[in-house]
Amino acid sequence: MSALSRRRKHKEELRRLILDAAREIFVRQGYESFSMRKLAGKIEYSPGSVYLHFKNKEELFECLVDESFARLLKKLSALRNGKELQDPVEELKKGMRAYVEFGLRNPNDYRFAFMLRPPMEKRPYKVHGAFESLRYIVGRCVGEKRFRALDVETTSQALWASVHGITSLLIQRPAFPWVPKKELIAQIINTAVDSLVAGVRVTAEAGEHHANISRL
């Protein structure tokens, strides 16, 4: 390995060390208690070495957020890789289950993606691919008339709120006497989604009933 390759490898390893240590401090102590000097002490490097990679804690934090979203998106990407299920409703449920499972298996990533934010953050919220995947499948459900004529954006946000709610509760309240998690998650997802599908069935049944009356 050449001297240049060794330096490049060391630089990449140090950046990874910084990110991993920063993630731990942010999660354990919160955004406000974090400092670049504290981070440098943890990894036993000078603060200057940290600043060579990240200009401030805001940039470092955003990098960790983007990493967390990337891991979540990788989990969900199979839903949009051309292997779509014939029934978009089942595909939607599958995606929502994958979302919750990701959060429970990777709680620190989930905290960074959705639960840890700098105080008084004024920047506009950046819509990531994870939500776009959900919105895409909801659009299929509406477009293929598996759902009644709903607003795709509103429906997507409502479904996201339901899975985010149970995911964050299970992460933050592990001592609560929950029923078996698999059953709880399934009921929440089925209740949220099937109520929209039921609307299609009710509408169809009502139309058929009206047609029968008209023939009398």
Together in a domain, 85 and 191: yes
How many separate domains does the chain show? 2
pTM above 0.85, yes or no: no
Instruction: Name the residue range of residue 149's domain.
Output: 62-215
Q: The domain that contains 186 carries what CATH number? A: 1.10.357.10
Long-range CB contacts for residues 131-139, cutoff 8 Å, separation at least 24? 131/156, 131/160, 133/73, 133/76, 133/77, 133/79, 133/80, 133/95, 134/92, 134/95, 134/96, 134/99, 134/159, 134/160, 136/80, 137/79, 137/88, 137/91, 137/92, 137/95, 138/92
Together in a domain, 194 and 133: yes
pLDDT 10s digit of each residue in the chain, 216 long?
677 777 788 889 999 999 999 999 998 888 889 999 999 999 999 999 999 999 999 999 989 988 888 888 887 776 566 555 678 999 999 999 999 999 999 898 888 778 776 665 555 555 567 788 889 999 999 999 999 888 999 999 999 999 999 999 999 999 999 999 999 999 999 999 999 985 545 444 444 444 443 444
Together in a domain, 196 and 113: yes
Together in a domain, 38 and 114: no
Together in a domain, 31 and 70: no
